[in-house]
Structure 1
Amino acid sequence: MGRVDPIPDEPAAIADLGGERALVIADYHAGIEQALRYENGVEIASQAERRREHVHRLLDLAEADRLVVLGDFMHSIGGPGGAERGEIEVLLESLSLPVTIVKGNHDGGIESIVDDARSPRTPGSIPEVTVTGGGGCRLGDVGFVHGHGWPDHEALGARVLCMGHEHPCVRLTDEVGGSRVERAWLRGRLVREAFEGRTGVAWNDPELVVFPAFNDLVGGTWINADRDFLCPFLPAGLAGGEAYLLDGTRLGPYDDI
């Protein structure tokens, strides 16, 4: 119970929820191309169809009973724009299994998208969709949180806590000075002292799994450079964490890379 296994070469994992298998992804950032165009002047064709097909391939590979999105399903912070609203509605309508959306800091209007997708005016139908609060939720022995705030007591009491938000990545340099940036996983035991004052938590010595961003167009936290974490309990809450590349390569303690 409470097992979370990354899928090799993919920014996704399979979670054993005790009776259910969930495909877990983080930071989908639907509609990001529109934001890049208006905010940065970068013209990128919509990759909504590619992202949707990627999710379906992973659901089939995982033989999943549920999809869990660890926040930032949307990209724009101020409210859902037309591109991301359409992308999310089409994705939800294409699914036939329950979906749990953990609300992230970019998901201010996500409930309205789900409600519109349920509307009888919309062609097709959507599966059961649950939107949690920012403190996350717990399914079986696995907790789920976005990471922009503190996990609620239920999520923090799980055996494993899955988190997004950070978009962890590493900058790798070769012997001739060339460099590349790759997405990465962070894993390790949570440090209880980082949660002092969070009363009422049934502490189970949980493992923290920080997910890479599903969307490869977003930036991230360079865990072997600036380490300017966004989460309120990092880095203090993961003093002994290790980093892994998407292909499973173990890089060792992230603060020694």
Structure 2
Amino acid sequence: MTPTDPGQQGPLVEPVPGAPAAVATLHDERALVIADYHAGYEAGLRIERGVDVPSKAESRRERLLSLLERTSVGRLIVCGDLMHSIGDPGGAERGELEVLFESLPSKLSVTLVKGNHDGAIGAWLEGCEIVPGSGTRVADVGVCHGHTWPAREVLESRVVCLGHEHPCVRLEDEVGGSRVEPAWLRGRLEPAAFRGRDEYAGLEWLEGDPARTGSRPVESPAIVVLPAFNELVGGTWINVAGQSFLAPFLPAGIARGEAYLLDGTRLGPYRSV
């Protein structure tokens, strides 16, 4: 499975087999891209729902460090929700992130796209570049969180990566059993969902008129919705009727959407899985 732009310049974003992470090629560097780390989630469960779940902070950290070593990248990009609490973090959550950043390779650069859970993270977290949730463009890859409309520069990229949805598929076997698996969701941005918004006026793939110009329409960017890095957080069952998507531009904003499991298994059009 390669949820990327299949253009002639080659793939820009490729999933890491078996992991909720991808490697992006950014001209002269490579980056590991993840979303929805949700540090401190277990503490949140205790406070919000009264559910006592042992902390998986150490295993989350080790999984991420292992992926960084495995992929040999120079940058880490987090597409939002690095932490879980929407307001100020509690001691366990803040401590988890401080230990994580102390453990990262010294030469690794980190970019965090602020998610709706990241609150005032910039006031205390050191060691990373923090950009608004509407996102930014890094070389030919646009990254955003997904809880708000993307910045214009994100939609000027070749591939748009986002989190927020925590996409999952509900799979049934022949005897009626079922299970829920995290999944990748990929396709193309659907122009109709973005037309008419002033901030996108003039984008060629939105407003090109082949009938008037005599040219072929410019293909819209590829879109990659990343599975949540935190395996406890649940998510949107993208193949179950009646499920509401979280991003304001989904599902209307994705065309030819297909689902893939973390091991690369192609499930086909996500609506019919």
Q: What's the TM-score, normalizing by structure 2?
A: 0.87
Q: Confirm whether residue 105 of structure 1 aligns to residue 104 of structure 2.
A: no
Question: In the TM superposition, what whole-angstrom CA distance separates every residue of 1:195-251 from its partner, at most 9, and x where no partner exists?
Answer: 112325454620000000000010100001133101011111113110000010101
Q: Is the 8 A contact 1:148 1:231 kept in 2?
A: yes
Q: What secondary structure, in the 3-state scheme, does the structure 2 residue paired with 1:53 have?
A: helix
Q: Confirm whether residue 195 of structure 1 aligns to residue 197 of structure 2.
A: no
Question: In the TM superposition, what whole-angstrom CA distance separates every residue of 1:7-59 from its partner, at most 9, and x where no partner exists?
Answer: 11100000001111100100000000001112222211111111111111000
Q: 2:243 aligns with which of 216, 227, 245?
A: 227
1:92 aligns with 101
Segments ≥4 residues shifted beyond 6 Å: none
- 1:1-257 correspondence runs (5 A): 3-95=12-104, 96=106, 97-114=108-125, 117=126, 126=127, 129-196=128-195, 197=197, 198-201=200-203, 203=205, 205-225=220-240, 226-257=242-273
Q: What secondary structure, in the 3-state scheme, does the structure 2 residue paired with 1:213 have?
A: coil
Offset of residue 193 of structure 1:
1.4
Offset of residue 113 of structure 1:
2.8
Q: Is the 8 A contact 1:243 1:252 kept in 2?
A: yes
* Structure 2: segments with no counterpart, 5+ residues: 1-8, 206-218
The sequence identity of aligned pairs, in percent, is 62
Which of 1 and 2 has greater Rg?
2
Question: In the TM superposition, what whole-angstrom CA distance separates every residue of 1:127-152 from its partner, at most 9, and x where no partner exists?
Answer: xx100011101111000000000110
Q: Is the 8 A contact 1:85 1:113 kept in 2?
A: no
Q: Distance in 2 between matches of 1:235 and 1:10?
A: 24
Offset of residue 78 of structure 1:
2.1
2:209 aligns with none
Farther off after superposition, 143-152 or 199-208: 199-208
Farther off after superposition, 21-30 or 42-51: 42-51
Offset of residue 173 of structure 1:
0.8
Question: How large is the RMSD of aligned CA atoms in angstroms?
Answer: 1.3
* Structure 1: segments with no counterpart, 5+ residues: 118-125
Counterpart code for 1:19? D
Q: What secondary structure, in the 3-state scheme, does the structure 2 residue paired with 1:150 have?
A: coil
Q: What's the TM-score, normalizing by structure 1?
A: 0.92
Aligned length: 245
Q: Is the 8 A contact 1:12 1:24 kept in 2?
A: yes
Q: Distance in 2 between matches of 1:215 and 1:105?
A: 16
